[in-house]
Amino acid sequence: MMPSAESQAEAESLRKEIEYHNRRYYALDDPEITDIAYDQLLRQLQALEAQYPELLTPDSPTQRVGAKPLDAFAEVVHPVPMLSLDNAFDQQEFANFDRRVRERLELTDEVSYIVEPKLDGLAISLLYEEGQLVRGATRGDGNVGEDVTQNIRTIPTIPLCLTGSGWPKRLEVRGEIYMPKAGFNRLNERARQRGEKSFANPRNAAAGSLRQLDSKIAAGRPLAIYCYGFGLVEGGRLGKSHSESMALLEGWGLRISPELEKVSGIASCHNYYQQMAKRRDGLDYDIDGVVYKVDDLQQQQHLGFVSRAPRWAIAWKFPALEEMTQLLDVDFQVGRTGALTPVARLEPVQVAGVIVSNATLHNMDEIQRKDVRIGDTVIVRRAGDVIPEVVRSVPAKRPADAKEISLPKQCPECGSEVIRLEDEAVARCSGGLFCPAQRKEAIKHFASRKALDIEGLGDKLVDQLIDRALIHTPADLFTLTLEQFADLDRMAEKSAQNLLKALEKSRQTTLPRFLFSLGIREVGEATARSLALYFGGIEPLQLADLDKLQTVSDVGPIVAEHIIAFFRQPHNIEVIDALIEAGIQWPAIEQIAADQQPLADKIFVLTGSLSRPRSVIKEQLQALGAKVAGSVSKKTDYVVAGEDAGSKLAKAEKLGIEVLDEAALEVLLAQL
């Protein structure tokens, strides 16, 4: 069926509205509606387009998610060649540029320049016809580039249709596609965690994203644009000056750098350069210099071009963010959670004004992929406030005695075994209860609510106790005296007494809580409970092998390996023994095989106010094999409703689920 005129108008209006909000959100950073309201608009349009595919236009905002993969990129001949910029590397070279401009223009006055940071991304050409984005192309060699329209359409800061009015019929806008540092760091972090290849720098990441034949991949990459110029202009005009023209582009919805300024005279030019150099690290994108353009377009025309660069513009470059140096050695640093990070010790080198002598190598996978060896010449990169990193080695400069980097077998902090499971990029120290690097985290976890629940022992107190060397392991907590507590900063006598009481109380715990409190990797509350029910005590768990562990519900090969590694460390066992010595105890657990638990697989929901704490009832039900869920669904078996139960009770009644009051629950439990 053909869409009605009404549907057509609705689709048109939705497209306009969505693009408007898109611009407010991405280009202006000033949204007017919530994300949810925005999604609703987008869904309305998607539904309409699904109903009437004829309504789908290439500039529809629904198309930003990516299109069908291409086999190859088509070639694009640039109607006006895309030139590059001449460079100046110091004040003298810039002054020479300015003098040449004045001489050619026969000016005695100062020249007006438009200045802006030089983004380190990829130059791109955007062609708008009748206000619609019809093509996006890379610069290529300046004359012929690649048609990357499908990928360009996925970039939220690029308008699919221009706003306002007065744009030329055909308008070619030029700008730089870049990847913000924050997005780049997230992308690389994710890649490293998955053991995938990371990108060397944001520029490479942006280039790699733009050259994806599958635009759905590009759609998932955090790319953005700043427009800085124009090429073809037909059937209309821009301004008399570069700055007027940029203002027009901005008015049509194109994103222009907020750092753009008009300056005249070389003193102001130098000033801008220095200000930007200072702010460079703090910007959310990489810049490699400042670009100066003669503002007056007539003057630009008069100046013309030499070979491949205009005479009316220059890039005054900053020092590079990447430098070469020697890799002297590699140490391994242990983080709060036990992760081992290889750290490169470098022959000190200046990188963009800062001396770098250490840099991260991230993990063993990255070392292998970058083929880095001790003695190598390597490229280090320092960008912003992130830790400098080794980007790669330079194999051509490898000395004959270059040494391979190997993961230590023992933790450099505590001597416990270093474990690196198959398929995991990260290697970890297995001495969680004992390792000095992990002490603070281990003790905070041990004292936390779902573990031993030591009331009043907050993070700051744990920090103090460890910093003053009063405790080293969780077991040491139980040796502390009233005087020692009272001696701490901001600790009144009364609080010290309360803490001692809380410690006393925490000695009486349950086996699931105790197992959880040990902080074994991958052993959360639920797994700790399953392990407790299955083994009934610490010793049988300690003796269990891989196969035995994996018969426990919830326990797969990875969890099993972590458990075995944990109990294989003599230091961990010493701490557990000391804890039991200190009086930690729990009521005996009746072991029941998982499938024989009386409430196995039954789903309960607790609601309303109950006479016992919900957590207690929850643990009781869970010990019998039940699952306790937070919301009522068709899968719920029982809803236990206390006083003033509200919507959950109503929903249970509507779905015909059995509702128990507390008395009925007691009867049910007594019957098991």
Catalytic residues, by residue number, are 118
Residues 636/605, Cβ–Cβ less than 8 Å? yes
User: At its nearest, how many Å lie between ligand 9MJ and the CB of residue 119?
Assistant: 4
Q: Which of 195, 177, 359 is nearest to 286 (CA)?
A: 177
* Token duo for residue 385: 């406030």
When asked if residue 116 is in the footprint of ligand 9MJ (CB under 6 A), the reply is yes
Task: Identify each DSSP E strand in 361-429 by its residue range.
Answer: 377-381, 389-393, 418-419, 427-429
Nearest distance in Å: CB 75, ligand 9MJ: 21
User: Judged by CB under 6 A, which stretch of 59-67, 115-123, 487-495, 612-620 contacts ligand 9MJ?
Assistant: 115-123
Q: How many CB atoms lie within 10 A of CB 588?
A: 9
Judged by beta carbon, residue 206 or residue 518, the one nearer ligand 9MJ is 206
Q: How far apart are CA 470 and CA 464, in angstroms?
A: 9
Per-position x/- string for 49-88, each x denoting binding to ligand 9MJ as judged by CB under 6 A, each - no binding: ----------------------------------x-x---
Single residue of 222, 229, 431, 625 touching ligand 9MJ by CB under 6 A: 229
Nearest distance from residue 221's CB to ligand 9MJ, in Å?
Answer: 19
313 binds ligand 9MJ (CB under 6 A): yes
Interface with ligand 9MJ, residue 118, by CB under 6 A: yes
DSSP per residue, 180-219? -HHHHHHHHHHHHHTTPPPPSSHHHHHHHHHT-SSHHHHH
User: Does 228 interact with ligand 9MJ (rule: CB under 6 A)?
Assistant: yes
Handedness of CA 238, 243, 244, 246 (dihedral sign): positive
> Could you tell me where the beta strands, DSSP code E, fall in 61-108?
75-77, 87-88
Q: Is 334 in the site for ligand 9MJ (CB under 6 A)?
A: no
Least distance in angstroms from the C-beta of 78 to ligand 9MJ: 12
Residue number with CB closer to ligand 9MJ (176 or 561): 176
Nearer to ligand 9MJ, 309 or 500 (CB): 309
- How far apart CA 213 and CA 195 sit, in angstroms, is 23
276 forms part of the interface with ligand 9MJ (CB under 6 A): no
Nearer to ligand 9MJ by Cβ, of 116 and 296: the residue is 116
Q: Which is nearer to ligand 9MJ, 226 or 567 (CB)?
A: 226
**Which listed residue (291, 380, 383, 603) binds ligand 9MJ by CB under 6 A?**
291
Least distance to ligand 9MJ, CB of residue 218, Å: 20
126 near ligand 9MJ, judged by CB under 6 A? no
- Which two tokens mark 568? 């294989």
Taking the complex as a whole, the smallest distance from the CB of residue 226 to ligand 9MJ amounts, in Å, to 7
**Closer to ligand 9MJ by Cβ: residue 313 or 367:** 313
State the binding string over 586-625 for ligand 9MJ (x if CB under 6 A, else -).
Answer: ----------------------------------------
Cα separation, 54 vs 60, in Å, equals: 12
Q: Tell me the closest approach of the beta carbon of residue 487 to ligand 9MJ, in angstroms.
A: 59
Assess 119 for contact with ligand 9MJ (CB under 6 A): yes
Nearest to 579, CA basis, from 447, 481, 474: 474
Q: Which helix (H) or strand (E) holds 567?
A: helix 557-568
Instruction: State yes or no: residue 242 binds ligand 9MJ (CB under 6 A).
Output: no
The residue (of 119 and 579) whose beta carbon lies closer to ligand 9MJ is 119
In terms of Cα–Cα distance, which of 426, 366, 414, 415 is closest to 392?
366
| Residue nearer to ligand 9MJ on the CB measure, 77 or 80 | 80
Q: Which of 435, 523, 437, 446 is nearest to 477 (CA)?
A: 446
What interhelical angle do 35-51 and 5-22 show, nearest 10? Answer: 150
Provide the residue type at 467 as one letter: D
Supply the minimum distance, in Å, between the C-beta of residue 83 and ligand 9MJ: 5
The one segment of 113-121, 214-222, 350-358, 523-531 that binds ligand 9MJ by CB under 6 A: 113-121
Report the first-to-last Cα separation within the chain, whole angstroms: 62
With residue 52 as reference, give the H or E element that holds it. none
- Told to check if 346 binds ligand 9MJ by CB under 6 A, we report no
Calpha distance 533→550 (Å, rounded): 14
- Give the span between the Cα atoms of 219 and 152, in whole angstroms: 9
Which of 176, 296, 376, 413 touches ligand 9MJ by CB under 6 A?
176
DSSP 3-state of 429: strand
Minimum distance from residue 166 beta carbon to ligand 9MJ (Å): 24
Q: CB-hemisphere CA count at 13 Å for 322?
A: 16
Q: Give residues with Cβ within 8 angstroms of 4, minimum separation 6.
A: none
Gap between the Cα atoms of 80 and 331, Å rounded: 53
Q: Is 321 in the site for ligand 9MJ (CB under 6 A)?
A: no
Instruction: Choose one: 112-120, 316-324, 485-493, 605-613; the region binding ligand 9MJ (CB under 6 A).
Output: 112-120
Burial class (CB in 10 A: 0-12, 13-18, 19+), 105: middle
Which residues form the interface with ligand 9MJ (CB under 6 A)? Answer: 83, 85, 116, 118-119, 176, 228-229, 291, 313
